[in-house]
Amino acid sequence: MTLNIKGTLLDLSKPKVMGILNITPDSFFDGGEYNTEEKILSQVKKMLIEGADIIDIGGQSSRPGAKKLTIKKEIDRVIPIIKLITKKYKNVIISIDTFNSEVAKKAIDAGASIVNDISGGDIDKDMYKVVGNLKVPYIMMHMKGVPSTMQNNPKYDDIIFDIIKNLSYKIDLAKKAGILDIIIDPGFGFGKSLKDNFKILKNLTSFKQLNQPIMVGVSRKSMIYNVLESNANDALNGTTCLNSISINNGANIIRVHDVKEAKETVKLIGFMNENS
């Protein structure tokens, strides 16, 4: 499997690591931490040195209960940062974490290469058309509801079947809109109960039937620290554990706050699979 990154192929035969750069003041783990150009560039440098393959930039918090920004506010927050990073690091691959097609277009024009949409096209009905015209990879996440209400007692008949059915329908629409590279994300924590999240993780291989690369984002989430009775700050070990399971169950990209540990996980599992 490969992704076409503006004419350069990114090989997914070995799992890739996406480093998270939240420039939101209210994200669940590192909100408000990267609030100056110096701190942003320092964090990007750290992630790249540690081996990040992609840097994911988001200006809109998607934590449960998060309120929606205006499009202008989101653009003002993310576009200068994308320009700042791409000026400093010429070959960096940036994904823009947004569910607004206008933000996606401006971000790609500013230097981003991938669109990461937590709503899978549900919030902005123009997203597929815009991304199709941009000819960039599209990460299609499954989310039940919207961030402000998604954790209000979500229910499924059969969660694995329901998500696969939903994504299959959307993949067809996205391809018809001209999107060539689609990555699917089952959306851990986005309209799922604690048990739902672990059922998805256990059955991640089921999503291979969609014939698209799979991205997993469990980094420091409540599905980890609620089981461990801790908090996001103490959830790195749990994150590494679940990332290991994700990779063994077919994840092609893992989205993380802690790049060094994720790259070590990828390397160790790769070595095991190649030498056993």
Q: Catalytic residue at 260? A: no
Annotated active-site residue in 77, 106, 220, 221: 221
Q: In what order do the strands lie in the sheet with 16-22?
A: 182-185, 138-141, 114-117, 94-97, 54-58, 16-22, 253-256, 215-216
- Cβ-Cβ contacts under 8 Å for 61 (sequence gap 6 or more): 22, 24, 26, 27, 28, 31, 147
Give the integer Cα–Cα distance in Å for 30 and 21.
Answer: 9
**CA–centroid distance for 233 within its chain:** 20
Q: Catalytic residue at 255? A: yes
Annotated active-site residue in 144, 170, 255, 263: 255
10 Å CB burial of residue 266 (0-12, 13-18, 19+) is buried
Q: Cβ(96)–Cβ(108) under 8 Å?
A: yes
Q: Cβ(57)–Cβ(23) under 8 Å?
A: yes
Catalytic residues: 221, 255
